[in-house]
Structure 1
Amino acid sequence: MKRFKGKMEDGGASSSGAVESKAGFVLGNVAEVVERILTFVPNKSLFRLASVCRLWRNCARRVLRTRQNLSWLSASGSSLYEEHVLFRTMEEGLESVFLLPQTVLLMMDNESFTGHHGAFRHKKAKRCQSADKLDVVDRLRRLLPSSCDLLCVITPGIVLTPSEPAGQVPKEFMEGEAGFSLLFPAMEGVHIRPFHFCKNSLSDTTLEKAGLAANPDLKVVLLFGYEAYKTGAARFLNQLLEPLGRSNVLIAGGHVESVLPHKRDCCSPGSFGVTGLTLSGPRIQGASVLMDQAVNTPASAEVTMRRLKAANIPESNTVGFMFACVARGHNHYSDQPNVEADIFHKLFPRVPLFGFFGNGEIGCDRIVKENYTLSQTDANGLQHGYTTVMSLVHLG
């Protein structure tokens, strides 16, 4: 019996070794199997696995090329740490995202920098605002790839879609800690480029370099002005909006509290300026509607937003943007919360929605689709107050 048991044990070990040998052969030689396995691996781990061997490196590269859909991380509520609640979410979430961010658009509430509502502000109450902002930029740079373009905007209120798969219903936050980061990977047929101008840097040359002029592939401009109340800011912004208003591009955005330091070596502290993203490429489509002050009931808001639905923009790999006045939200709808975000979700249940409550809105009714543009305004009709600009941007 002992001899028989020994033979059985030897046979079991031999069988196990044979299985491991076959598995090792498959994983070292069958690209189809390796590539299929790597599709289930987050990008950060994927880069580590790419160093195993040449086969795995080639498989990893092919998997990376398939990950061209937008993703996002968002958070709300009070943080238990000395930093904004969004940072903890990003630190954990970036470990498991299935893309490599090339451009990041990040927005956070203004209370974290000017009020005492966030927990992390209590321990920093005596620190100046600019020092806090520099800390934020440094923190973000450590979290994101070094080659990633970052645009960070501070606003009075936030509109976001939760990043948890179970509850992706957009929410409006007019107070309290909230923020999101939109993660754009490299995408075929799509070129996303950040820009920043102040009164010292705006010229025909810099406009062309940023892709805002002499760019036939330009389809969408997300544009955010800051310190807009200062003398000369309106005239400065018109210099940028006039040529854009005459072009066949979708323009959406508004006036925000501030932007985090972004190539500010040309600007004096506290000066006005504008920042944003250009989205160029033949695959991009977009549409926007302007909800004016008269749109003040859920029924009228839905009627207006159905014009956005009628544009027939593809909803896959598409993101919604909502740029609203701080006077809207529940204050505008007889104390009913989340009216506009709920209607958007009703009409576009598979499209995430992001944006802010700001100090003025930029946009109009416009469709940019395939080889034509439908616009109902000119450059003089792009700036508004007490309105909401609701937009769709399809990335192909």
Structure 2
Amino acid sequence: MDGNVENPCAASGSQAGYVLSNVAEVVERILTFVPTKSLLRTACVCRLWRNCARRVLRTQQRVAWVSATGCGSGKGHVLHRKLAEEMENMYLLPQTVLLMADCETISGQDCCYGQKKVRKTDSSELALELNALFPRGCEILGMATSGVVLTPNGRYSSPPQEHQDGEAGFALMFPGMDGVTLRPFHFCKRSLSQTALEEAGLVGNPDLRVVLLFEYEAFKSRAARFLNKVLEPLAQSNALIAGGHVENVFTPSRECCGRGCYGMTGLALSGSRIQGASVLLDQDVVSEKSAEATLQRLKAANIPERNTLGFMFACLGRGHNYYGGKRNVEADAFRKVFPNTPLFGFFGNGEIGCDRIVTGSYTLSQTDTESLQHSYTTVMVLVHLG
């Protein structure tokens, strides 16, 4: 369509042309069926359509995701190829993207010990390609992990899957949401300070409800002390803290801390509408039955299932090897207890979290930093976005 045309349908002289040029209610209803990329182009047609498009975008407040598995013969990671296809038909305008992919396929600095000889995707190239896929201003947190937990594209009730080997990944996309503030953050040894914590909303923020944090290069000298500097103020807050150690972070840019340095990225979620709960599956959980029993404690938190996401942060020593060769035990247990909640996460070299509930009427007890850090465990999390 010509962006210089003020009345796109008036020339026809038809009744339909008049309606599409003047009746906002009809135009707005029609635009609800238009994917976001096309909607943004449509907004350039005329003032009426621009205003209608803006109102439609404000109604698209539900989280969406794209996930992909398998190994294609083409260039690039399977998730990137899937995103390129799906973004043309996406019905939301993402402002923040949480993306995780297997480190066996994504090459990066010191990424994934004992890598197999498989097709590689350069992490810096992938970061540039991802930035080109998403709208300008969209903030992307991209991580390479030892294994990926994802829910296939489709309905919220699709069965989640654990992928400890092979090519896999997901992109969880958050639009602007009323009553919810998402602040991505990234710290390294040079940028971490009290001021930086405050600017990220992690300190001095009474509306903080949930923090998802991911440390990289955690085996480096002084990385443990670095993590404690972030966890100490958070442990004393009334917020749910969960995450773990990932292999590599390829976006945002890590130029500030240099190659091979440790650091942390994550999301701070603030807002009175947010609720959350988490439980720890410790080393005593060794069977399907005990995993389900632990998740029943999470169910008892009474977090609403609508508009809720599940997260699973597991030790790479768990999974099918931990459960005697049986795959997908913990993801299946989650789906049995929460059949309509999608699940996302990773397998890593350490887990962060504990048993916590964050609701409007619940006061949390204080927790020290050591009780938030674990190994050979799984942290299961629910985050309700209102």
2:125 to 135, 143, 151: 135
Query: Is 1:95–2:88 an aligned residue pair?
Result: yes
TM-score (norm 1): 0.89
Does the Cα contact within 8 Å between 1:367 and 1:375 map onto a contact in 2? no
1:205 to 183, 195, 199: 195
Matches within 5 A, 1:64-103: 64-103=57-96
SS in 2 for 1:301: helix
Equivalent-residue separation in structure 2 for 1:261 and 1:100 (angstroms): 19
Equivalent-residue separation in structure 2 for 1:353 and 1:93 (angstroms): 20
1:106 to 99, 107, 118: 99
Query: Is 1:236–2:236 an aligned residue pair?
Result: no
Query: Is 1:54–2:47 an aligned residue pair?
Result: yes
Q: Deviations over 1:33-56 (max 9, x none)?
A: 221111111111111112222222
Does the Cα contact within 8 Å between 1:365 and 1:377 map onto a contact in 2? no
Equivalent-residue separation in structure 2 for 1:55 and 1:374 (angstroms): 49
* Letter matched to residue 106 of structure 2: F
Equivalent-residue separation in structure 1 for 2:312 and 2:331 (angstroms): 8
Matches within 5 A, 1:118-133: 118-119=118-119, 121=120, 132-133=122-123
Residue of structure 1 in register with 2:170 after alignment: 180
Query: Is 1:327–2:317 an aligned residue pair?
Result: yes
Structure 2: segments with no counterpart, 5+ residues: 1-11, 108-114
* Letter matched to residue 23 of structure 2: V
* Letter matched to residue 341 of structure 2: V
Does the Cα contact within 8 Å between 2:291 and 2:330 map onto a contact in 1? yes
The RMSD of aligned alpha carbons is: 1.7
* Letter matched to residue 277 of structure 1: L
Residue of structure 1 in register with 2:267 after alignment: 277
Equivalent-residue separation in structure 2 for 1:90 and 1:23 (angstroms): 36
Equivalent-residue separation in structure 1 for 2:248 and 2:81 (angstroms): 22
Matches within 5 A, 1:1-20: none
What is the number of residues matched between the two proteins?
A: 368
* Letter matched to residue 293 of structure 2: V
- Structure of larger gyration radius: 1
SS in 1 for 2:303: coil
Q: Deviations over 1:335-363 (max 9, x none)?
A: 11101111111121211100000000000
SS in 1 for 2:255: helix
The alpha carbon displacement at 1:141 in A equals 0.9
Equivalent-residue separation in structure 2 for 1:356 and 1:167 (angstroms): 19
Does the Cα contact within 8 Å between 1:104 and 1:150 map onto a contact in 2? yes
Residue of structure 1 in register with 2:17 after alignment: 24
Equivalent-residue separation in structure 1 for 2:48 and 2:182 (angstroms): 31
More helix by share: 1
Instruction: Name which of structure 1's ranges 367-376 and 276-285 shifts more when overlaid on structure 2.
Output: 367-376
The alpha carbon displacement at 1:324 in A equals 0.2
SS in 1 for 2:14: helix
Structure 2 CA distance for partners of 1:247 and 1:32, relative to 1, 3 Å? same
2:254 to 246, 251, 264: 264
TM-score (norm 2): 0.92
The alpha carbon displacement at 1:320 in A equals 0.5
The alpha carbon displacement at 1:395 in A equals 0.9
The alpha carbon displacement at 1:97 in A equals 0.9
Equivalent-residue separation in structure 2 for 1:79 and 1:118 (angstroms): 12
Equivalent-residue separation in structure 2 for 1:269 and 1:367 (angstroms): 38
Structure 1: segments with no counterpart, 5+ residues: 1-18, 125-131
Matches within 5 A, 1:214-253: 214-253=204-243
The alpha carbon displacement at 1:116 in A equals 4.8
Equivalent-residue separation in structure 2 for 1:158 and 1:151 (angstroms): 15
Instruction: Name which of structure 1's ranges 29-38 and 302-311 shifts more when overlaid on structure 2.
Output: 29-38
The alpha carbon displacement at 1:287 in A equals 0.4
The alpha carbon displacement at 1:277 in A equals 0.8
Does the Cα contact within 8 Å between 2:100 and 2:169 map onto a contact in 1? yes
Equivalent-residue separation in structure 1 for 2:301 and 2:117 (angstroms): 41
Does the Cα contact within 8 Å between 1:196 and 1:263 map onto a contact in 2? no
Residue of structure 1 in register with 2:276 after alignment: 286
Residue of structure 1 in register with 2:350 after alignment: 360
Does the Cα contact within 8 Å between 2:279 and 2:354 map onto a contact in 1? yes
* Letter matched to residue 191 of structure 2: S
Does the Cα contact within 8 Å between 1:103 and 1:150 map onto a contact in 2? yes
* Letter matched to residue 91 of structure 2: F
1:385 to 375, 378, 381: 375
The alpha carbon displacement at 1:98 in A equals 0.7
